[in-house]
Structure 1
């Protein structure tokens, strides 16, 4: 399965570099400095960045479902998504800058930094309300509350400063258009660090799937394991959301697809979920760019429709 996912990702990378504003237009066949600049400064980093963001969401989704022992858990359970939205809304309200009109890497990294800071703040508030990571149910409930409150605050900012609504729309619907090489480097570093840390605690994640009492009886240090896994989930989700906005269903569907294809322990489930998430988001991004070219669909809307349709079909297939 890993080889299939790698091959699919490579093919999608080629397709991502060949799809532009006018649909299929492989610029490597065209000469000139402008064609080369479009290919290497816009399409290639956007393609790599979309795959890396999807891989981070797939990894975070697998960690969340194992940590909370719930197949419906997704990476946004700790409030990181709405926290990132609040951070971006506050920056736009204070600076009056649109991510669609911002020029240069400074403005783009500023928005990504605001999103990441908001995501980290939301996770810290969740951990404070849950009084640490000792009680999984309390952590889950705190994340739901923080997500609702931070989402309401972001809506309040947009109500007070309605000029930022159009700029916020691209973030809330998900977009890969602002990805550049600095963002790609950041996503790659976070993915490597998160995957290494998650694999280091994969046995603890397998033990947690048997129940906390069973895991403790097996000698698993529940506190350090939970802390590390929450850190991986928060860092991966915050980095992805800060760069591409709110992308629905990737973190939820990717682990499901892996489990449907193979029965694997966490040591294999985690990297396979990352590969699946990367391929899913990149496929959705290529489709969003090419299906209605020159108009581009919001990639987050496309993943929500396709991911939601898959889950509905899955529920319909299974007997009551």
Structure 2
């Protein structure tokens, strides 16, 4: 069994990662590190794991572990790695935004590969360090990558995406309070969201011109999932677009193009991304849906781990949606 460590295991992404790895047939959790919950039962922070494990949070780190996941707040992974120099043989998978951009990718003698499997599969397979994409970034990139590769994103792209409350993390805040969130909706960080940088780098990786991206993120009154819509001018037919997307995702295990309109319940609790296309006059509307905690975070991290270890891509990730 491959030994895995988790740094920062008390949040939502850490909890989902624990849940996935507990049932992964090739991996065993070596430790779950927490600065605030050392010695406490993991199930005290994640009640859904009661009866699944009697593991306790650790205040110590095994620097020789085979693979480590960093589930820390943005800006904290760099400092943690400075203070904890893992073995050169340890595979690193970071779920923050510390190493996602090209200018930030080199650290400690390693280069972090951007971990979007549908874009960088070969590089991930040969990587010793991976920067896991952001949740909004995953949904939006998967919606637009086929157009970017074909050089069909030269016009403005307007993007609207709504995320559940878990996208804001486990720490309480005013906009996560039930009385505020329930029966409510709002936008935030209009046109300036931090995921735009990584989205732009991926879409530009094909060397084709990309038009201006206008991204409006929204808060939804549900707990998990992202539904993203993007539209831009498109001269071809809807059938042309469908063929373009099906060809691009022909070998993708978790990204699927749907003939019918899509919705969140199809993907919640899975590592899948569903995509739908709709043509109106000279505009193509692309809709994508993911679970922000799985394909947008912990599930994709396990998918990347499988690549890095030479395992089957879908190992430990064959999950059914909470459809009913």
Quick one: higher RCO (CA 8 Å, sep 6+), 1 or 2? 1
* More helix as a share of residues: 1
- Specify if TM > 0.5: no
Q: TM-score when scaled to structure 2? A: 0.26
Q: TM-score when scaled to structure 1? A: 0.26
